[in-house]
Amino acid sequence: MKVLICGKGGSGKSTLSALISVALKNLGYRVLLVDADESNLGLHRLMGISSPISLMDHLGGKKAFKSKLSPSFPKGPEDAIFSKRMSSGELSEACLAQADGIRLLVIGKINEFGEGCACAMGLLSKTVLSKLDVADDEIVVIDTEAGIEHFGRRVDAECDMVLGVTDPSFESFMLAKKMQEMAEKADVEIFFVLNKVSEKVEAAMQQHINAEKVIARIPHDDTIFMDSLEGKELTTTLSEVDPICRVIREFRKSHMTRQDG
């Protein structure tokens, strides 16, 4: 099962991606955490590990990646990069880092002034997810870039579920509505997590977010905030993450039942 985490910048996507990955691993799942945010440099730190070489760099960098794409059209860019479907176990070990049983894959980062846009990273993310076969005991958690560009690149169409992270801001509310519209067009189930919630703001947040789609409310936590601020490993667990894992488990079971039927 592939679960994509999205939301506006600063909403807490990476922090929740890390917390959810740890919680799922503790439930017995094999977890592949995919860093698909080309600008955020901190996810590996939250996991307490060094960043592996990115998949983009492993493939020779953006220039080499783009050179493989030109002859591939109209056949399709996916076949130019990966000619066949693959399991996560077939990913190059050079591109993977281990965090207490959780594997981290980094798609690519913007590293140099003037190197160009992140379009290649978006296409590589879509390609990997479209070619990746996931085992029954495995869950892939994808931490995306801020905003909704991944919807425009149809990355979400390669996933089974989208989790929209919303914080107490008007911009986040408006983005949540747009994310739900796009997820419905992509025929992908979407749920929302209210993050950085207090009693004072929860009622206001619920006025803007479809209540039937809200599966968890995460309070502000000073320890997690400071660890994230200082780029430290997240060692705190939140019971409020448990409802997210329950929904993922239930959705996974129903999804597998539909496939078997």
* Ramachandran quadrant class, 101 (left: phi over 0; alpha: psi -120 to 50; beta: rest): left
CB 5 within 8 A of CB 143: yes
DSSP secondary structure letter of residue 212: G
Residue 47: the pLDDT is 95
Tell me what the mean pLDDT of segment 96-122 comes to. Answer: 85
pLDDT at 88 over 70: yes
Q: Tell me the C-alpha distance between 225 and 197, whole Å.
A: 13
SS3 133: strand
β-strands 132-133, 86-87: how paired?
Answer: parallel
For 31, phi then psi, to 5°, come to -120, 130
Percentage above 90 pLDDT, the chain: 52
Top-confidence residue, 129 or 148:
129
Q: What is the pLDDT of residues 118-140, one digit of tens each?
A: 778 888 988 899 899 999 999 99
Name the residue among 84, 87, 111, 83 with its Cα closest to residue 30: 87
Q: What's the mean pLDDT in 28-32?
A: 97
How far apart CA 252 and CA 41 sit, in angstroms, is 30
Residue 180 pLDDT > 80: yes
Residues 6+ apart with CB under 8 A from 130: 78, 158
Contact 85, 43 (CB under 8 A): no
- Residue 128's nearest CA partner among 176, 165, 163, 96 is 96
pLDDT at 75: 53
| pLDDT, position 62 | 81
> 2-260 domain in CATH 3.40.50.300?
yes
What residue type is assigned to position 141 of the chain? V
